[in-house]
Structure 1
Amino acid sequence: MMNSTFKKMLVFALAFSLGSLLCSSLIIGFLLEKKIYDRTQDTLVTKAGELNKEVELFLNGEISKETLKQTILLVQERDHIQVSIMTAGRDSLFVEENAAVQSWIGDVLNQKAHFAEVTFYKNDEIKMFIVGVPILVGNENKGAIFLYTPMKEAEGLVQEINQMIGLAVLLLFLPIVLISFFLSKKVTSPIVSMSETVRNISKGNFEKQVQLKGKDEFASLGAAINSMADRLAIIEQSRKRFIGEISHELRTPLTTIRSTLQGISDEILTVDEEEELIQISINEIKRISQLIDDLADLSALEEKAVILYKQKTSMTDLVEACILQLSLQAKQKEIIIEKEIEAEVLANVDIDRIRQVCINLLENAIKHSSPRATVKINLIQENDFIMINFENSGDEIPSHILPFLFDRFFKTDQSRTQKGNGLGLTIAKRIVELHGGDISVQSSEGKIRFTVKIPQELLTIRRIG
């Protein structure tokens, strides 16, 4: 993980951060450079406007050429700019003795431009920024004023700003690398921890847990992995315990059957002993057969390969029949069965499957009740659902056990399935779920209650006439 996701995150963070920083630097540099050029241009245009008034006074004969010249020299010295003036008659008042400048001035005048700007190199290869402004007297163009200034000052400022930006990028590079490193590590660390935990789970080690920090999505995923590990650990323990108990249950009857067959084969048994052992062997074979049937039944239910034959059924009669079937078993333990059953409760169900559920839950209630206790059965119709409750007194089931009580192979000394093979409640739950219902259990104050909730699913027949 550190060799893949971490490096990818680090490279992405560095590339994104540095790319953003460089783009920001280029944009800032460009905007500052444009701002400097715009300001230079505005300064030249403003000065040209001021000189325009002086030239207009000169053309009107209000001031002398010498006075105009002194004004221009003062502007050039004070503002570090150069001025050229040419009238419409191509009379040069003040034109720098430079062929490139003169040519450009001529082009502007020929085009009768009111504003123009250009950059070029003088003979000494100094880059210039030039602005030309027409001399307007009324609406008549009397010539043009040209102002130009070396670009070295502006370019020097731009270069200085770019150097400062470059220095800032270099100074920020190390913090960006460190921040990207720690952020990438922080993001990938939970993934590394979860990956290691999942690998341990795949190897059967359920003890290592994901360390939870914060309340983000990683913490939620880590909690889910921890919950899965806890659940798998319980299931694995139940599976191992179940295999051990199944092995024991199979070993005992197989030993009995083998001993019986061996005794018959060796002719060392009396007729009475032979008959007795044969009957015991038959009972053991029935028990093994029942266990195999339960496993096959559960497998079919979990794969949803069971077809339900639903029909309109009186749930009242069905529950009454289950009570009658187990009444002798209850009587043997001196257990009283209290029933509260609504009359004419109907539902569309598979009769045999729902009877299997009711028999299983009622038999468990009787089996796990103390002698001379009371088992309560309640059947009610609530909206479009049928509710069947089985309640008995007995050892309370711990709350942390309840969520796993219906798991396949689950068996613990504190569960209600301690005397069974750990499949009865699982089968019951699958049957109820196939009917679109739910089965739940609550345990408190020495009372254990199983609740079966199944949809009624009856078609309403509308009479005509």
Structure 2
Amino acid sequence: MNKITLKLGLWFFFVMLMIQVCLFFVLHTGLVESRVEEELDALLARGNSHREVLEDSFHAETLHHIALMELKADTEVIITDDAQKILISSSKVDAGEKKIVSKKLKDIPRGGMILESRWKNEKYISTVSPYTAGENQSGYVYMFKSTDQIQQLISKLNQHLLFAAAVMFILLIITNLFLSKALTTPLIQMKQATEKLSKGDFSVQLPDRGDDELGELSRSITILAQDLKRLKEQRNEFLSSISHELRTPLTYIKGYADVARRKSIEEADREHYLQIIYEESERLSAMMKDLFDLAKLDRHAFIIQRTNIHLSSYLATVYEKMMPAFQEKEIRLDMNCDETLYVMVDPVRFEQILFNLLDNAIKYSDPHTKTSVIAQQEKGEVFIAIRDEGAGIPQEDLPFVFDRFYRVDKSRSRHLGGTGLGLSIVKELVEAHGGRIEVKSERNKGTAFVIWLKEEKE
């Protein structure tokens, strides 16, 4: 048996055992007291009944009849006069009864009273009822019941309670075994799952255990395992992509450097090779810068200094900077921005976002197409949409466009340039501004990137 099962089982067993002991003690005490009280009430009622008979007809025959009735019952009766002198009794009066009858009586109520109720230590329990038969005759009706009979009743009651306690004890043990097993089994499975996770084994799949806390914990561990597995795969893919991306420019640089060093080549060819080396060095430098930016973003070390800017004026500046690149490729660039919009952004970092998205529009759009930048307010938020009429992105690629080194162009054609990190940086920067970015695209009809930001007042 596992330690947690044993501990939980023992703890639950002792707690439930103490609860049951307390409950049985209260139940036993209550039942005993209730049973004794019933006997005393019945005894007093019987004495009052004899009193009524005496008051209706006080004769020697009546006294004899009452004594005869009690002789055949499990109770006894003693009838006395006003001086407590015994007139008649249903059986021979013993010392215990004499002791009770000899007690001085004062202010006995009409309904009678209990004289002795100590059933544990005395031989009898007893009641007394006063009677008045005419002007010259009065006295008392004493009723007695042996405590041996009470003890027998209590003994039978104890036997029944002990039997019930034994059954409850057995049921408690069985319930405890099943319950502790039911509670600890998922905990043990979760412990084993976390041990597998700590060893790098992410193939963890815990069963669904409902909507309670254990079920939520089980699902959380399963989700954690899936996330860790995905992160491991992404890390491996990331390292593989870095290796590929770095190896390609380094291979070009080394290869063309070896060729350029040859003394036998023409000067024009040497210049051409040196130009390729320069371009690959620039590409490698841009990639390293992007990687450093992503590393800073991952460590939350990327400083965002936001300020409240007038969006229309800001986008006009971006428009002027990007316009020559669009004109060179003969792509029309339109801009439409609400003049009343203000947003809280880092001007430098947000410009990096827009340049990256506009640069993608240039790369993937044909001449004589149009790219639009639209900024409007909607439900307390500002959205900035950059739409082009380029090649578009296949639907199966849309969920991954913000992944690092992911390229829609699987051939990784070099004429489009880029490091495969631009959109990852864009997403990280947008989220660092407290916003979100969405992408919509249709093949051969164009792509739209939409940035959502919180609107600020002037």
1:238–1:411 Cα contact (<8 Å) kept: no
Q: Is the counterpart of residue 41 in structure 1 residue 7 in structure 2?
A: no
Mapped to 2, the partners of 1:121 and 1:231 lie a distance apart of 74
Task: Say which SS state the counterpart of residue 377 (structure 1) adopts.
Answer: strand
Task: Say which SS state the counterpart of residue 93 (structure 1) adopts.
Answer: strand
Q: Could you tell me which of 52, 58, 61 is aligned with 1:63?
A: 58
Q: Mapping of 1:391-402 within 5 angstroms?
A: 391-392=387-388, 393-398=391-396, 402=399
Mapped to 1, the partners of 2:367 and 2:238 lie a distance apart of 28
Task: Say which SS state the counterpart of residue 102 (structure 2) adopts.
Answer: helix
1:109–1:143 Cα contact (<8 Å) kept: no
Q: Could you tell me which of 368, 385, 389 is aligned with 1:389?
A: 385
Q: Mapping of 1:80-99 within 5 angstroms?
A: 80-94=74-88, 97-99=93-95
Q: Mapping of 1:36-435 within 5 angstroms?
A: 36-56=35-55, 63-64=58-59, 66-94=60-88, 97-109=93-105, 115-119=113-117, 127-135=123-131, 142-254=138-250, 280-323=276-319, 325-326=321-322, 337=333, 339-343=335-339, 345-368=341-364, 375-382=371-378, 384-392=380-388, 393-398=391-396, 402=399, 406=402, 409=404, 411=406, 421=419, 423-435=421-433
Specify whether residues 216 and 110 from structure 1 end up closer, same or farther in structure 2 by C-alpha distance, changes over 3 A only. Answer: closer
Specify whether residues 98 and 380 from structure 1 end up closer, same or farther in structure 2 by C-alpha distance, changes over 3 A only. Answer: same
Deviation at 1:380, TM superposition (A): 1.5
> Unaligned stretches of 5+ in structure 1?
460-465
1:386–1:455 Cα contact (<8 Å) kept: yes
Specify whether residues 176 and 89 from structure 1 end up closer, same or farther in structure 2 by C-alpha distance, changes over 3 A only. Answer: closer
Mapped to 2, the partners of 1:434 and 1:78 lie a distance apart of 100
> Unaligned stretches of 5+ in structure 2?
none
Task: Say which SS state the counterpart of residue 451 (structure 1) adopts.
Answer: strand
Task: Say which SS state the counterpart of residue 457 (structure 2) adopts.
Answer: coil
Deviations 1:165-185 (A, max 9, x none): 322332344444333333333
1:115–1:132 Cα contact (<8 Å) kept: yes
For 1:389, the aligned partner's letter is A
1:348–1:458 Cα contact (<8 Å) kept: no
Deviation at 1:197, TM superposition (A): 3.0
Specify whether residues 159 and 425 from structure 1 end up closer, same or farther in structure 2 by C-alpha distance, changes over 3 A only. Answer: farther
Give the TM-score of the pair, scaled to structure 1: 0.78
Deviation at 1:130, TM superposition (A): 1.7
Specify whether residues 405 and 54 from structure 1 end up closer, same or farther in structure 2 by C-alpha distance, changes over 3 A only. Answer: same
Deviation at 1:273, TM superposition (A): 6.8
Q: Is the counterpart of residue 450 in structure 1 residue 449 in structure 2?
A: yes
Percent identical: 25
Specify whether residues 97 and 183 from structure 1 end up closer, same or farther in structure 2 by C-alpha distance, changes over 3 A only. Answer: closer
Deviations 1:228-273 (A, max 9, x none): 3333323222221111221233344455666788899998988767
1:130–1:149 Cα contact (<8 Å) kept: yes
Specify whether residues 170 and 448 from structure 1 end up closer, same or farther in structure 2 by C-alpha distance, changes over 3 A only. Answer: farther
Deviations 1:380-418 (A, max 9, x none): 13354321113455232438x73x6546x4737689x99
- CA-atom RMSD in angstroms: 4.2
1:315–1:345 Cα contact (<8 Å) kept: yes
